Structure 1
Amino acid sequence: MTIQKQKDRLQVDQKLPTMPWYVQQFIEYKLPDLSPSTLLEYIRDYEIFFDWLIQEGISTGPDIHSVTLEQLESLRMEQVTAYRIYLTTYKEQKNSRITLSRKLSSLRSLFHYLSQIAEDENFYPLLKRNIMAKIEIKRVHKPKDTAAKLKGKLLEEDELFDFVDYVRTGYAADVSDNKQALYAHEHNAIRDAAIVSLILNSGLRVSEVVNLNMDDVDMNNRMLYVSRKGNQDETFKTPVYFRERAKEDIQAYLELRAARYPTPKREKAFFLAIKNGEKEGKRMTKRAMQAMIIKYAKAFGKPSLTVHKLRHSFATDYYLQNDIYKTKEQLGHASTETTEIYAHLTDKTMSEAIDR
């Protein structure tokens, strides 16, 4: 189990006792099939919903643990509509359409379980009436729409090479009058270039890069072993190839890793960082990696570029040379529907190809 999953599982265990008994039963039912991160999102969504029921007087108990099945069963359509409006307007955390859709999907999953799967001692459903079955959740991020938002925000063709070179050497010239920034770059440039090059030549997610261990990297065969999103077998790691052009950057990092980022023997992480005031290297965090990419992207003149858009940049380039099924496997998508984004991103190239 990755470090992030361990943290999320701990939070699930801490929050679950505060939930009503039937939610605890539902989470336990889902435990073998969903990641701790997804289960934690479910619980957070239910916290918001149950708190709202109490605020509106729909549930009269003192806390969310006391929300009853009867209160869920008696919900009316106008109350569910009011909750949807609340999700789009409440100040603490205004929700986008995608977030709103996910929160409603969480409720639908719970209500479906209570009305169609779970049974009482007499073999009757726990929930006799499922108001959420009436709620239509529209798909909000179609591949074509996502592609339209990404156009012009990714690295294309020679930019993939140029950005790696910029991280490795070019950035230094732009911060030459800033001693602190220059020192940090001199210390981390080879590592940063290796990270950027790896993503641009494999399409790994940032979490997959962060969780890489030393024994996950096979330089001879240009292969990585990664814990892929959605894979519930914690012991299995998916083999993923990276392009030849990344090998030199990764090798350069390996040659200085031990000397520049000294670590205790127990530290297995592939990419390391040393925090200010500390002497030993530790696994580089997801947040640090994201901030690092944003820093270089702004200086490079691509302020909209993020670590996930590096993955999109690789995928678009890879799709031009391979079919949708190979692209799906390389990226670790659950279905080709997600991979269709890159078909839309390359529409212009495809139209030129058919003319030729």
Structure 2
Amino acid sequence: MAHMSSHEILQAFQEYLIVDGKGGKTVVSYTGDIARFLTWLETKQIEFTGELTRFFIISYKEYLVGKNYSVNTINKKINSLHSFNQFLIAQNLCKELLVYPSKDKIKVASGSEQEVEVFTDEEVERLLFYLENRNNVSQRDRAAIVLLLYTGLRVSELVNLKTKDIDFLTMYLKVVGKGGKYREVPLKTEVIEAIKDYLEGERKNHKLVDSQYLLLTQRAEKMDKDTINKLLKKHGKQLHLEMYPHKFRHTFCTRLIKKGVEITTVAKLAGHANIQTTSDYYINTSREEKQHAVNLL
């Protein structure tokens, strides 16, 4: 194959994954991981033309560890690099396999698996005070954030919320979860108020006011996951907090368990089909809680 730019290589890798029968989400995930890897190489003044080296792999893994990425995230990126390495060999751009998942993935000691990243009580309080200042945040963004914080919705569930799903009288939310399964989530007064503010304010004067969906953008009658991630990143930057949808979900479940709520109830609220999922994730406490526990000795 003729000399290719890193951008052309990335495009060819995407096509390779599609032809290989990988699912849409997998293709997006793998190509996103490799795009970030190639961007990192650029910061090192490396013009990548397909020749992968073991040095690149080891250095990138060290960079990810230094950035405090979770074990699961790093291991996912190793998988993406392994697939990328196989692609480069198939295209005769690289001569040998240089990524070894069994060796390169970070091993997790028993009892430390499924650690989740959550907001501390202090961070939650800081976020709530930030949301109180109407100059900081739009009514739409405020509604989206309090919904995430107090309902534990998945991001896909949040963007698909319809106005008819909210019962203001009983203060319940009807959620269509994975596999089309319905569940009901009770709403705190703060959430009801934030939704009402939005419906009676910004949304009432919106050109797409007739949309069936609750959360709108300037151009679309429904928000998408990327928009949610962007708004969380924007406000997180102001608060010096890393904010992403699943962190809110983890925090929701973890806070309930810490307050003594039965795990079966937490599972129902989170929409987990299997209680074991809830147990695996949230009985294992966060890294910070483990550190705090040891500090008590």
Q: Which amino acid aligns with 1:195?
A: A
Residue 331 of structure 1 pairs with residue 270 of structure 2: yes
Structure 1 residue 104, shift from structure 2 partner: 2.5
Residue 18 of structure 1: aligned partner: 15
Residue 104 of structure 1 pairs with residue 78 of structure 2: yes
Q: Which amino acid aligns with 1:197?
A: V
Cα distance in 1 for residues equivalent to 2:144 and 2:50: 47
Q: What does 1:118-129 align with in structure 2 at a 5 Å threshold?
A: none
Q: Which amino acid aligns with 2:148?
A: I
Q: What does 1:179-218 align with in structure 2 at a 5 Å threshold?
A: 182=135, 188-189=138-139, 191-218=140-167
Q: Which amino acid aligns with 2:231?
A: M
Partner SS, residue 195 of structure 1:
helix
Residue 236 of structure 2: aligned partner: 294
Residue 247 of structure 1: aligned partner: 192
Larger Rg: 1
Cα distance in 1 for residues equivalent to 2:265 and 2:197: 29
Aligned length: 249
User: Residues 212 and 15 from structure 1, CA distance in 2 versus in 1: closer, same or farther, beyond 3 angstroms?
Assistant: farther
Q: Which amino acid aligns with 1:202?
A: T
Unaligned runs of 5+ in 1: 1-13, 57-78, 112-128, 173-181, 351-356
Structure 1 residue 97, shift from structure 2 partner: 6.8
Q: 2:28 aligns with which of 29, 37, 40?
A: 40
**CA deviation vs aligned residue, 1:47-95 (integer Å, no higher than 9, x gap):** 879x979415xxxxxxxxxxxxxxxxxxxxxx7x5463253379xxx99
User: Residues 52 and 196 from structure 1, CA distance in 2 versus in 1: closer, same or farther, beyond 3 angstroms?
Assistant: closer
Residue 137 of structure 1: aligned partner: 105
Residue 213 of structure 2: aligned partner: 269
Partner SS, residue 225 of structure 1:
strand
Q: Which amino acid aligns with 1:42?
A: Y
**CA deviation vs aligned residue, 1:18-48 (integer Å, no higher than 9, x gap):** 31xxx5564x2x53xxxx3333223455787
Unaligned runs of 5+ in 2: 1-10, 39-46, 86-96
Residue 314 of structure 1 pairs with residue 252 of structure 2: yes
Structure 1 residue 144, shift from structure 2 partner: 8.2
State the structure with bigger RCO (CA 8 A, min sep 6), 1 or 2.
2
Structure 1 residue 199, shift from structure 2 partner: 2.1
Contact 1:274 1:282 in 2 (8 A): no
User: Residues 250 and 102 from structure 1, CA distance in 2 versus in 1: closer, same or farther, beyond 3 angstroms?
Assistant: same
Cα distance in 2 for residues equivalent to 1:324 and 1:318: 9
Residue 223 of structure 1: aligned partner: 173
**CA deviation vs aligned residue, 1:307-336 (integer Å, no higher than 9, x gap):** 545444433321123134443443356823
Q: 1:55 aligns with which of 37, 51, 54?
A: 51
Structure 1 residue 286, shift from structure 2 partner: 1.5
User: Residues 135 and 305 from structure 1, CA distance in 2 versus in 1: closer, same or farther, beyond 3 angstroms?
Assistant: closer
Partner SS, residue 209 of structure 1:
helix
Structure 1 residue 16, shift from structure 2 partner: 6.8
Provide the alpha-carbon RMSD of the alignment: 4.9
**CA deviation vs aligned residue, 1:223-271 (integer Å, no higher than 9, x gap):** 23245xxx4x5xx254251333223432343334552323164x43311
Q: Which amino acid aligns with 1:18?
A: E
Contact 2:116 2:285 in 1 (8 A): no
User: Residues 349 and 40 from structure 1, CA distance in 2 versus in 1: closer, same or farther, beyond 3 angstroms?
Assistant: closer
User: Residues 225 and 109 from structure 1, CA distance in 2 versus in 1: closer, same or farther, beyond 3 angstroms?
Assistant: farther
Residue 154 of structure 1 pairs with residue 110 of structure 2: no
**CA deviation vs aligned residue, 1:103-126 (integer Å, no higher than 9, x gap):** 323466899xxxxxxxxxxxxxxx
